[in-house]
Amino acid sequence: MKKQYAVIGLGRFGSHLARALYDEGNEVIGIDLNEEKVEAYQDSLSQAFIADSTEEASMKSLGLRNFDVVIVAIGDDMESSILTVVLLKELEVPYVVAKALSKRHGLVLTKVGADQVVFPERDMGLRLAKRLMHPNIIEHLKLSDDYSVEEIKIPSSLVGTSIQQLNIRKRYRINVIAIRHKTDKMSISPHPTDVLTEGDLLVVIGTNDDLKSFSDTLE
Ligand code: ADP
């Protein structure tokens, strides 16, 4: 299902986000104060507008309340980012995502009504640290404070081993929910006799502690 998005602030974060949404076939408009930025994205988004997002009249005229999601990707100008969120919620935009540069900035954005606050620099830093420390963990999806799903690269020493032989449930108390093969083909709920092949990724679910013990043994 394609959606309608508006991205306010076509800086590094906003422009990549807007392009990625547009390239997937969604309707995406970009808004920025800066004329050059708007011109640069004129042809790679549905539409791009020069406007100040803190001005009520301009935001109203763009009909932002009809968009599914509006993302406030204004960076350094904290005052504008906060005022924009206030205005968007006053205009009854259903879902506002705002980028925060700091914890305090994030708190204020939540207080003034942002439905979701993202911390791209913090999150990317944490992700990169995890990847550097655990290069075999390709994907980590937190389900709750205790449980996660991980996609783990298997070492070549395990090629030829069956799921049963891995004995992963008994030894580590984690479950294999799928195997992603090199071709990107997925074997969902693999059979105990399924054998691991070169380049396979194991999709596993378990407590964070158990997942850590398992991935540590693979390093
Ligand atoms: P990044 O770190 O993602 O590059 P920047 O702070 O450099 O973020 O970019 C934010 C963008 O938001 C800039 O292109 C800037 O012109 C735009 N911007 C800032 N304030 C407003 C505003 N009030 N209305 C519209 N666009 C704005």
List the residue whose alpha carbon is closest to atom 7 of ligand 1.
Answer: 11
CATH number at residue 76: 3.40.50.720
Q: How far is the CA of 133 from the centre of ligand 1 (A)?
A: 33
Q: Are residues 106 and 44 in the same domain?
A: yes
Examine residue 128 and state whether it is found in any structural domain, yes or no: no
Q: What is the distance of C-alpha 215 from the center of its chain?
A: 23
Atom 12, ligand 1: residue with shortest CA distance: 9
Number of domains in the chain: 2
Ligand 1 atom 18: the closest Cα is on which residue? 9
Domain with 194 in it? 133-218
Residue 127 domain-assigned?
no
- What's the CATH code of the domain at 168? 3.30.70.1450
- Residues 71, 147: one domain? no
Would you say residue 139 lies in a domain?
yes
The interface predicted TM-score (ipTM) is 0.96
Residue 180: half-sphere exposure toward Cβ, Cα within 13 Å: 11
pLDDT tens, the chain, 219 aa long: 899 999 999 999 999 999 999 999 999 999 999 999 999 999 999 999 999 999 999 999 999 999 999 999 998 999 999 999 999 999 999 999 999 999 999 999 999 999 999 999 999 999 899 889 888 888 889 999 999 999 999 988 899 999 999 999 999 999 999 999 999 899 999 999 999 999 999 999 999 999 999 988 887
C-alpha dihedral, 162 to 165 to 169 to 171, nearest 10° = -140
Domain co-membership, 15 together with 92: yes
Pocket of ligand 1 (CB under 6 A): 8-14, 31-34, 37, 52-54, 73-77, 80
CA–CA distances in Å: residue 142 to residues 58, 162, 186, 205, 208: 39, 27, 21, 10, 9
